[in-house]
């Protein structure tokens, strides 16, 4: 049976709703019994049949109002009950049995290590029992869990613990009640033996909230940062958004087996342990910041996601785009705002722009879905956040917050739509967002082409702006969008910003681009300026303006906006890469332009903000460069990139070494200043590894490291530069950490991205490594994912070996964990971006998968699209 698509336009409110659920769960890893009592209400007069979702369990019995009921039908994925004779309110009781230990999909109820937990978003609840498993059905939950007290001393669910007791047979039970109405995807249950970190938070209205973080036994010393992060998030949401927590308890559980980052279940978040556990010896600076931001993200969902949820899954960006925007702002307020912006834009440009150019292109509010899990994408999340950010730019903070208040006031306790959000923003601010709404329905990356013109006699400067969105796989016709274009005009002699004035008055620095072609005129412009365009990346578009190298250097020197400065050096990097790739392809000698050299020199000689300098002199990744081309040459890019690294290392060895020495930290502290110093020092090391100093410096760096950031920097430098000490260091690391999966993931990913010709053999060997486990998504991503997405040279080997390897892995994952399989297949479905020979090989791989007789919906959707 071919999977069927669902369309946004087909949304219909449900005929029945469920107002209350009582779950009685007799928990055991091998056989769990679930009794569910549903209070059902008819919403549509005359509705005769109630169709409930459910699959992947044993169905045991059904009762209606306490009586055995036989008028029902079942198929692969549903139970339809004839309720024609029933009053408008009735009760169903359903018994099911399931096997958490065998559930490798990590959706529904499953075993993780020695514990048991749930993952219900998007449609996992239906793997536990029959349910109206859709986000617009909001019910009150009461959950009683019974299990062995020895194996599962902690039994957790949403809301408040209302009763507990012991049974004579060694089992115990706990009953939970969640006072808030919620959709089934926010249900959670956790059972296991944990170490528990406890704290409390007093909200601004004076309520005390118990905070609890549950981690595997022995990991208590790694839970502190997560707790501090949670408290910072709770405080920030009160200060910046005026939003306060609403239950008396907030629990976080870290589990090792998890398909994604974390899950915002009401009052009981479940986290991938990667986003909870941290201590200096095991976590890098990046890990610390990521943990804080994911903890915050899930916490922020309590309002933007849980109190106000989504009417249907097409509206996913309503909660995800908005919550990503909120977590980005949180990180920006607490740490370096420009550094955060740069990281976010880099992700958007490499991954989201690539998604727009792929067979899976979709608007932030998709129109058509086969498998919902496939739409937890960078488009819905990060581009969704960019759309919210544009609203913020158009309205300003004050009106945006007024809009938030109206949105919350109007939609609290309901399942809402993206339109409800935009409408609240519009009415609260008085800003017309009519054309802006197209960002929700139109996919693709707009291209803004800008040319300029200076009329010296009249002192008028003009920017001619045209917009064009190329057709995408899902949508051919494109309309003009409302694009906020933030600009500054820089006098390249004085370095000052020129005032922006129209003929009559002062002008805003945000231009409203709404037409396909438009001209903006600036008056009283005394010298020909260099335009800083798309300041702060004010819209998720590609900018096409032919900057000369000397103009880019002016931006680098003078722009007030740090993002613009970073972007200027990116353009210079891109120029070097492109020019040399052409030389390489034409059999010429590669070389390094004078302007580029002087730009790097200037950056290394004037370090004001080490964090920014680090970001600016970091060599862009292969995947960053790939997005410059319609047809990607993975081997050429790798060669030129290595040439650029070696050239920078050779030319600037002295300066790099000086900065390396000047940025040493003492005792490890996670603070902005030290993070910045380590970042700069370690970037210097990454270049110096390619000089004669490399061998000694890297080895010493490794030996003297007192934290994982520095250890990993040394290990990475040794690996990328193929130093002699590499194998010794890798072996040393392995011996120290082999029992620790999370730490080993760093080692696995490094191995999988080795520059060596025979890296695929190494990768195949890793599958048998003592720390590897094919059922753990983090391990699989570290080995298979890193190889396929971060080692393009090897993955796209012209002999097809990389593709064959990935397909072999996907065939196994199709059975064990389709959700993970569907993420890992991404590099393979982007076949149209490669030359004919590679396309043929990639197609062959996709066809091999398509032929599987039990192909999961997740993979089917992507393969089907990419073979069209």
Q: Which residues bind ligand TRP (CB under 6 A)?
A: 119, 121-122, 259-260, 262-264, 297-298, 320, 376
* Bridging pattern class, strands 89-98 and 78-82: unpaired
Q: Are 224 and 232 in contact (CB under 8 A)?
A: no
Q: How distant, in Å, are the alpha carbons of 258, 390, 392, 508, 531 from that of 395?
A: 38, 9, 5, 12, 24
H or E stretch covering 859: helix 857-866
Residue closer to ligand TRP, measured from CB, 577 or 782: 782
- Chain centroid to CA 179: 30
Tell me which of ligand TRP, Zn ion, none is bound by residue 287, counting a contact when its beta carbon lies within the kind-specific cut-off of 5 to 8 angstroms: none
Distance (Å, whole) CA 863 – CA 868: 9
Strand duo 6-7 + 72-75: pairing = unpaired
Q: Bridge-partner residues for 50, per DSSP?
A: 81
For residue 671, report the phi and psi dihedrals to the nearest 5 degrees.
-140, 160
Shortest CB 520 distance to Zn ion, Å: 37
Measuring CA to CA, which residue among 681, 772, 695 is closest to residue 727?
A: 695
Do residues 144 and 126 make contact, with C-beta atoms less than 8 angstroms apart?
no
The one of Zn ion, ligand TRP, none whose footprint includes residue 452, by CB under 5 to 8 A per kind, is: none
Nearer to Zn ion, 297 or 641 (CB): 297
- Which does residue 834 bind out of Zn ion, ligand TRP, none, counting CB within 5 to 8 angstroms by kind? none
Token representation of residue 513? 């681009």
**Taking a C-beta distance cutoff of 8 angstroms, is the pair 680, 713 a contact?**
no
Instruction: Assess whether the previous peptide bond of 122 is cis (omega < 30° from 0).
Output: yes
Residue nearest ligand TRP by beta-carbon distance: 260
Mapped onto helix, strand or coil, the DSSP state of residue 521 is strand
Between 251 and 632, whose beta carbon lies closer to ligand TRP?
251
**Min. distance of Cβ 275 from Zn ion in angstroms?**
12
Q: State in angstroms the smallest separation of the CB of 297 from Zn ion.
A: 6
Based on the number of CB atoms within 10 Å of its own CB, is 727 exposed (0-12), middle (13-18) or buried (19 or more)? exposed
The minimum distance between CB 298 and ligand TRP, in angstroms, equals 6
Quote the least distance from Cβ 257 to ligand TRP, whole Å.
11
Q: Toward ligand TRP, which CB reaches closer, 28 or 826?
A: 826
Beta-carbon contacts of 643 under 8 Å, excluding residues fewer than 6 positions away, are 580, 590
Question: Mask of contacts with Zn ion, 280-319, x by CB under 5 A?
Answer: ----------------------------------------
Query: 145, 187 in Cβ contact below 8 A?
Result: no
C-alpha–C-alpha distance, residues 443 and 361, integer Å: 7
Minimum CB distance to Zn ion smaller for 301 or for 478: 301
Minimal distance, residue 784 CB to ligand TRP, in Å: 19
How wide is the angle at C-alpha 572 spanned by C-alphas 566 and 576, nearest 5°?
145
Q: Closest CB to Zn ion among 301 and 362? A: 301
Please give the residues from 313 up to 332 whose contact with Zn ion meets the rule CB under 5 A: 320, 323
The entry of ligand TRP, Zn ion, none that residue 28 binds, CB within 5 to 8 Å by partner kind? none
Binder of residue 237, out of ligand TRP, Zn ion, none (CB less than 5 to 8 A by kind): none
CB of 675 to Zn ion, least distance (A): 25
Q: Say which of 264, 298, 355, 576 is annotated catalytic.
A: 298
Residue 121 interface partner, choices ligand TRP, Zn ion, none, CB cut-off 5-8 Å depending on type: ligand TRP
Q: Which of 144, 132, 176 is nearest to 41 (CA)?
A: 132
364 binds, among Zn ion, ligand TRP, none (CB under 5 to 8 A by kind): none
Q: Which partner, ligand TRP, Zn ion, none, binds residue 628 by CB below 5 to 8 Å per kind?
A: none
> Residue 533: beta bridge partners?
487
x/- site string to Zn ion, residues 199 to 238, per CB under 5 A?
Answer: ----------------------------------------
Closest Cα partner for 58 from 111, 127, 6?
127
Tokens at residue 540, please? 């998720």
- Which residue, 117 or 729, has its beta carbon nearer to ligand TRP? 117
Minimum distance from residue 259 beta carbon to ligand TRP (Å): 4
How far, in Å, CA of 162 to CA of 26, rounded? 18
In angstroms, give the least distance from the CB of 266 to ligand TRP. 12
What CA–CA distance (Å, rounded) separates 651 from 688? 11
For every residue of 131-192, DSSP letters joined together read: B--STT--EEEEEEEEEETTT-SEEEESSEEEEEEE-TTSEEEEEEEEEEEE-GGG--EEEE
Q: In terms of Cα–Cα distance, which of 774, 867, 751, 770 is closest to 824? A: 774
CA atoms in the 13 A half-sphere facing the CB of 565: 21
- The residue (of 262 and 535) whose beta carbon lies closer to ligand TRP is 262
Which residues partner with 210 through β-bridges?
200, 249
From the list Zn ion, ligand TRP, none, pick the one residue 119 interacts with, judged by a Cβ distance below 5 to 8 Å according to partner type.
ligand TRP
Q: Which residue's CB is nearer to Zn ion, number 320 or number 562?
A: 320
Specify whether 298 is catalytic.
Answer: yes
Q: How far is the CB of 261 from ligand TRP (least distance, A)?
A: 6
Cβ proximity to ligand TRP: between 117 and 656 the closer is 117
Binding-site size, Zn ion (CB under 5 A):
2
Question: What are the C-alpha distances in Å from 264 to residues 42, 295, 581?
Answer: 29, 9, 46
User: Between 352 and 551, whose beta carbon lies closer to ligand TRP?
Assistant: 352
In sequence order, which residues have a C-beta less than 8 Å from that of residue 317 and are 6 or more positions away?
Answer: 364, 365, 380, 381, 384, 387, 418, 440
Closest contact distance (angstroms) between CB of 197 and ligand TRP is: 22
CB 142 within 8 A of CB 177: yes
Quote the least distance from Cβ 121 to ligand TRP, whole Å.
Answer: 4
Residue closer to ligand TRP (CB basis): 124 or 694: 124
**Nearest 5°: CA angle at 450, between 446 and 452?**
170
401 class by beta-carbon count within 10 Å (0-12 exposed, 13-18 middle, 19+ buried): middle
Chain residues that interact with Zn ion, rule: CB under 5 A = 320, 323
Active site residues: 298
């Amino acid at each position: 049976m071919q999977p069927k698509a669902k369309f946004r336009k087909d949304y219909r409110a449900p005929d029945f709703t469920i107002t209350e659920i009582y779950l009685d769960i007799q928990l055991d890893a091998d056989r769990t019994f679930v009794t569910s009592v549903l209070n059902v209400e008819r919403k549509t007069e005359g509705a005769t049949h109630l169709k409930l979702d459910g699959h992947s369990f044993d169905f045991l019995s059904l009762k209606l109002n306490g009586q055995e009921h036989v008028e029902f039908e079942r198929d692969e994925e549903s139970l339809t009950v004839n309720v024609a004779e029933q009053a408008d309110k009735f009760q169903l009781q359903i018994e099911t049995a399931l096997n958490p230990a065998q559930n490798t999909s990590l959706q529904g109820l499953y075993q993780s290590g020695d514990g048991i937990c749930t993952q219900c978003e998007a449609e996992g609840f239906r793997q536990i029992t029959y349910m109206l498993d859709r986000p617009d059905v909001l019910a009150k939950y009461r959950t009683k869990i019974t299990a062995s007290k020895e194996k599962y001393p902690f039994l957790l669910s949403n809301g408040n613990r209302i009763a507990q007791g012991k049974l004579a047979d060694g089992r115990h039970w706990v009953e939970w009640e969640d006072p808030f109405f919620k959709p089934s995807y926010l249900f959670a249950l956790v059972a296991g033996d944990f170490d528990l970190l406890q704290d409390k938070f007093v909200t601004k209205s004076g309520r005390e909230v118990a905070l609890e973080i549950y981690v595997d036994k022995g990991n208590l010393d790694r839970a502190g940062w997560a707790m501090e992060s949670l408290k910072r998030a709770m405080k920030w949401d009160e200060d910046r958004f005026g939003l306060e927590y609403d239950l008396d308890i907030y629990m976080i559980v870290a589990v090792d087996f998890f398909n994604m980052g974390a899950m915002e279940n009401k009052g009981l978040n479940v986290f991938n342990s990667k986003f909870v556990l941290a201590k200096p010896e095991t976590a890098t600076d990046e890990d610390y910041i990521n943990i804080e931001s994911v903890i915050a993200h899930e916490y922020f969902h309590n309002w933007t996601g849980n109190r106000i949820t989504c009417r249907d899954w097409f509206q996913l960006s309503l909660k995800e785009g908005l919550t990503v925007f909120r977590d980005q702002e949180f990180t920006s307020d607490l740490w370096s705002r420009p550094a955060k912006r740069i990281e976010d834009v880099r992700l958007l440009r490499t991954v989201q722009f690539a998604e727009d150019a792929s067979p899976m292109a979709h608007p932030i509010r998709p129109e058509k879905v086969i498998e919902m899990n496939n739409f937890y994408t960078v488009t819905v999340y990060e581009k969704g956040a960019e759309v919210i950010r544009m609203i913020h730019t158009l309205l300003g903070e004050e009106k945006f917050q007024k809009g938030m208040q109206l949105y919350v006031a109007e939609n609290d306790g309901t399942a809402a739509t993206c339109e409800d959000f935009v409408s609240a923003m519009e009415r609260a601010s008085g800003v017309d967002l009519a054309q802006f709404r197209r960002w929700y329905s139109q996919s693709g990356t707009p291209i803004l082409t800008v040319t300029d013109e200076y009329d010296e006699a009249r002192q008028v400067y003009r920017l001619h702006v045209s917009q064009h969105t190329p057709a995408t796989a899902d949508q051919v016709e494109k309309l003009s969008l409302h694009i906020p274009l933030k600009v500054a005009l820089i006098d390249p002699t004085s370095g000052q910003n020129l005032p922006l004035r129209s003929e009559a008055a002062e002008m805003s620095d945000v231009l409203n681009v709404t037409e396909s072609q438009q001209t903006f005129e600036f008056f009283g412009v005394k010298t020909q300026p260099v335009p800083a365009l798309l300041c702060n990346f004010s819209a998720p578009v590609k900018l096409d303006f032919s900057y000369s190298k000397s103009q880019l250097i002016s931006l680098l020197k003078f722009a007030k906006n740090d993002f613009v400065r970073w972007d200027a050096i990116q353009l210079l990097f891109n120029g070097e890469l492109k020019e040399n790739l052409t030389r390489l392809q034409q059999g010429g000698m590669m070389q390094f332009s004078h302007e580029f050299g002087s730009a790097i020199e200037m950056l290394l000689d004037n370090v004001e903000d080490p964090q920014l300098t680090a970001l600016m002199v970091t060599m862009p990744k292969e995947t960053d460069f790939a997005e410059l081309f319609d047809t990607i040459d993975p081997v050429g890019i790798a060669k030129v990139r290595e040439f650029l690294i070696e050239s920078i290392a050779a030319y600037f060895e002295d300066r790099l070494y000086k900065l390396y020495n000047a940025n040493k930290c003492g005792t490890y502290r996670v603070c902005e200043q030290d993070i910045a110093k380590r970042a700069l020092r370690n970037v210097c090391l990454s270049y110096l590894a390619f000089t004669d100093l490399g061998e000694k410096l890297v080895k010493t760096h490794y030996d003297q490291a007192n934290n994982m950031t520095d250890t990993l920097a040394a290990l990475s430098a040794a690996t990328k530069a193929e130093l002699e000490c590499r194998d010794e260091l890798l072996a040393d690391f392995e011996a120290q950490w082999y029992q620790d999966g999370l730490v080993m993931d760093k080692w696995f990913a490094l191995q999988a991205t080795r520059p060596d010709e025979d890296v695929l053999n190494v990768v195949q060997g890793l599958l048998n490594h003592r720390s590897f486990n094919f059922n753990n998504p983090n391990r699989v991503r570290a080995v298979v994912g890193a190889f396929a997405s971060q080692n393009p040279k090897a993955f796209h080997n012209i002999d097809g070996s990389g593709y064959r390897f990935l397909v072999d892995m996907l065939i196994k994952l199709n059975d064990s964990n389709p959700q993970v399989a569907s993420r890992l297949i991404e590099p393979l479905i982007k076949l149209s971006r490669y030359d004919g020979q590679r396309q043929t090989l990639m197609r062959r791989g996709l066809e091999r998968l398509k032929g599987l007789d039990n192909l999961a919906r997740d993979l089917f959707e992507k393969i089907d699209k990419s073979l069209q």
